[in-house]
Structure 1
């Protein structure tokens, strides 16, 4: 990311040669915000000389005159003010192609917040803690521009209540250590083949096929290296890479693995989970130099469809980032060849890097971007990649991690991102990104204050999962010297169309990282071991599968000082709870687990034990006893949790002779069960 920003800065700087003027001090040089005077503004510039030293250092070098512009900010707030307020600092400038960076330092000179992306404006959101701060504006690619800045004490919106659904549980499956690249899995991708049931995982140059055996509990996993090679049909596969990516079209079963070369990609595809591979041209021309993504889905009814004679039913997209724009190319023959690269946006529209391309069931394609002006956004194509429109997500703010999109079965679109305040958040659109609703933070139950690597997937239209790495530790999570947060993998789920979310800790006993995580690009220290993203998909049964790199293994798990900065190939797979497909939800299973009939002086007695042996709560069912076909006892509405049981007793008058006594649970069939055939038991007794 920062390498690309450096090249962009060079281009903008060359374009700005000949512009007169020198950087000026901030005007005014200092200011104060309080709970009664909540905003202060200042400006600086114009600036001509670029300062790109922040690409190589935690902080930029400000020793050269006009290379940085400092504003002294005093914050004065009463105790508890931060519960409902935040300190929001923004810096903006007139020319979209220019770029300034923003750093906030405390009185000791430590960075407490930064926004060093390509966003315009750059925004930092911090707790409004009383103290003295330095707001540092850096002309990364100034192009002769001046900047304007504000520091404001803003009202925080009330956090929504978490959803009431039970969060799903997860099992964690690390790759065998014998596999090549098992501990070299930064920026992993995962795909699920609904035809074969296999999952595919990309760890750098290695492609793994993972099969799960659900006949035991917990399920077991088998990993196999199925990487592309000359021997299995694709000589370009698994040879060299600047960035790896994998995509499986779940419906067709076709998997693509792509290795970035800088000008394009070495791409191979398989229809048999890696037993054999086929070569591809890689991507479109022109093509970006970084951050490629492959996705696919049905062709839109609007736009050019498949090539004549092509049997593959779906479109395949290859998108990548260039210095000043991003391109998407479409394959109309199943990924063997790609058409020309089409610009999706330029620096005049968006400055941040894009996330992974996703295609809706109706063929609409979405390319999320973390920084389009003052918000995150999606670039949307409804004509099979011929044209693209940028649609912002109002209320969102640019962050350091690429956002993600998940698309439901009927087109509901879920947008997951990490905002300028470091917290994970979601928004929902039901009109292809034209408008957004239910924007809200997630992870509230876990107290998440910092998050990275948002990844999103949807199943049924009203169900989606949002995976991210999170920590309840606040502050500057990229400060390698002082940040001590413990990171886990979290998954937030919605079962009501994005109105409410509930969050699971998928790795409660095993940190994914200790300390800082750098999202600042290739110039980071060893805390960039996980690189820039992870991935989440859904299998045919609706189970959530997260492909992530585990940065804390072996001694690191239990000994905080032993932080190896690993990147171990790992899958977190849903093991309990509602899935993303209602048809696969766990169901209750009511059974008569115990039934005895005895004699009394006046008749007969029965003891009936009802148990729920299924995986979900049973509500609103009754129990009934009949004697020779006549009802002699009933119990009205009952509720049983999974594994719970209740014992009911009945007595009635009975004549001498033979009696066939039948106990029935849920005789009216009001409860949908996993097994409707085990609800009855019969006993015969002679009085």
Structure 2
């Protein structure tokens, strides 16, 4: 879907109320909209109706002191349209945004869906490329006015890329300190595991927090990847484990090409592109994106799983990655297939990333009958060198994604595209915004756990385990299983997650699982087994009844 604005390297976020923010959004001036380093009135696009309409948000309100623009309004003449990043603190609902711009790196935040904004500058100024904000419980400090420590992690030197730094705020982002914060992946740092060789950080500086307030990052040296952890709010970063995968250090100046995340249950997720994130100014090469999960914060890992949609042979530039509730992950990427020239926008998600063999769902967000979002010409984005797309899972479990659309370009090279992919009465220098969301399937109530049987193999009928999935924010409290219409098992609990059956029949039989959540959502899943084969499951949902409304019934 179009936002109606020109864009650049994109970021997306969904607040706790369901409002969706897209960055950047460049307004037109005298019929001209310009992106990237080209100026323009850049802010955010916001939708509160699932993308049916988008409004412009000026991210600095008049009640905060900020540099004055040429038009006399607070804010820079153009908030930068590269390397920006959102973060939503689900515990407090505060939305953060970081942007590398002159005279220093800015951090904005809003508690009211963008009606008003706070404003601050990082202690270490311009140079932090792709700075990313996160929050964690305090460990060594005392916070004031905000319950969590806020961190802004990024490259302190974006030219030489000589290490990363996590600056911190103890007042919710109002002020920042770099004093006592330790560099990692820098020439001056020394980890014995690197045997004196050069050390490099990960290109994505996201610091993955755990429930104890510790921060986790990646370090690359001596042809290996290591997990480093700070137990003292970013002051020191010792190595805690070696990553057992071949994660390419293919970024600028030897930086890594991976993404690291954690969830509320302290599961850790590592995703990476192989042979590395493509150079945005380079040519296309085939590749894959892998995901691995650790249940013990990196001490051990499950196998790597390929996540790209069937038929996608490679991606353009970086991929987006987000983790919602435990086991629920989403990816966004510009993917290439043999059936379609260029690169289309894709979203891939799974609800059972914690299982041994997760099931991934994927869809393209732009019509296959129309030109792609990226033409695949002179590097990504027609030689303008855009790196980033993004993904964000909303509080209802819906994954959103941000891309760019080459069809919106008028200058420097107009594309032959349908008129509805253009912005009316506007000449666009660069590209336009394009957003998408994956609306199906709903989280299904049952999926086989453990390794899936190889083709031609029979299912072990002595023990059969199902994972029970629920909509975001709800808990399964009851489950009933019938086989051929006869009750096989009924269980109750506060938060049911799996159910095991024993002694399944032979031949043809029908399994029906019904679950109920604490909010009244009823989910039914049915499938037929015939010997060693099974039919696709059929699902129906009756969502819990909000006040004054009837329940909604959904099928898949």
- When normalised by structure 1's length, the TM-score is 0.51
**Could you say if the C-alpha distance between residues 305 and 197 of structure 1 is closer, same or farther in structure 2, counting changes exceeding 3 Å?**
farther
* 2:236 is aligned with 1:387: yes
Q: Secondary structure at the match of 1:253?
A: coil
- Among candidates 304, 314, 317, match of residue 452 of structure 1: 317
Q: Secondary structure at the match of 1:549?
A: strand
For 1:639 and 1:582, the matched residues in 2 are separated by 15
**Could you say if the C-alpha distance between residues 433 and 422 of structure 1 is closer, same or farther in structure 2, counting changes exceeding 3 Å?**
same
Alpha-carbon contact 1:412-1:431 (below 8 Å) kept: yes
Unpaired stretches in structure 2, ≥5 consecutive residues: 26-41, 68-74, 188-197, 276-285, 410-414, 423-427, 445-467, 475-480, 488-508, 515-522, 527-539, 552-556
- Map of 1:490-569 to 2, 5 A cutoff? 490-497=347-354, 499=356, 500-507=358-365, 509-510=367-368, 511-516=372-377, 518=379, 527-529=382-384, 531-553=386-408, 556=416, 567-569=431-433
Alpha-carbon contact 2:396-2:471 (below 8 Å) kept: yes
Residue 48 of structure 2 is matched in structure 1 by: 211
Residue 90 of structure 2 is matched in structure 1 by: 250
- Among candidates 1, 5, 15, match of residue 193 of structure 1: 15
* 2:32 is aligned with 1:174: no
- Map of 1:90-489 to 2, 5 A cutoff? 173-175=1-3, 177=4, 182-184=5-7, 186-194=8-16, 196-203=17-24, 205-212=42-49, 219-229=50-60, 231-236=62-67, 237-242=75-80, 243=82, 244-261=84-101, 264-280=104-120, 282-285=121-124, 289-300=127-138, 303-307=139-143, 310-321=144-155, 322=157, 323=160, 324-340=162-178, 341-347=181-187, 348-350=198-200, 353-368=203-218, 372-375=221-224, 379-389=228-238, 392-395=242-245, 396-400=247-251, 402-420=257-275, 422-443=287-308, 445-472=310-337, 485-489=342-346
Q: CA deviation at 1:440?
A: 3.0
Alpha-carbon contact 2:136-2:210 (below 8 Å) kept: yes
Q: Secondary structure at the match of 1:384?
A: coil
Alpha-carbon contact 2:154-2:205 (below 8 Å) kept: no
Residue 668 of structure 1 is matched in structure 2 by: none
- When normalised by structure 2's length, the TM-score is 0.62
For 1:247 and 1:644, the matched residues in 2 are separated by 35
For 2:146 and 2:338, the matched residues in 1 are separated by 48
Q: CA deviation at 1:335?
A: 0.4
For 1:446 and 1:505, the matched residues in 2 are separated by 11
For 2:511 and 2:443, the matched residues in 1 are separated by 25
For 1:551 and 1:221, the matched residues in 2 are separated by 21
Q: CA deviation at 1:503?
A: 4.2
- Work out which of the two has the higher radius of gyration on C-alpha atoms and give 1 or 2: 1
For 1:291 and 1:572, the matched residues in 2 are separated by 26
For 1:192 and 1:415, the matched residues in 2 are separated by 22
Q: CA deviation at 1:329?
A: 0.6
Q: Secondary structure at the match of 1:583?
A: coil
Q: Secondary structure at the match of 1:527?
A: helix
- How many residue pairs get aligned? The number is 405
Alpha-carbon contact 2:329-2:350 (below 8 Å) kept: yes
Q: CA deviation at 1:623?
A: 9.9
Q: Give me the CA root mean square deviation.
A: 4.2
Alpha-carbon contact 2:85-2:131 (below 8 Å) kept: yes
Q: CA-to-partner distance for each residue in 1:200-222, whole Å, 9 max, x for gaps?
A: 2220631233213xxxxxx5533
* 2:434 is aligned with 1:570: yes
For 1:465 and 1:257, the matched residues in 2 are separated by 20
Q: CA-to-partner distance for each residue in 1:484-520, whole Å, 9 max, x for gaps?
A: 643332424251416334241232525221224737x
Q: CA deviation at 1:197?
A: 2.5
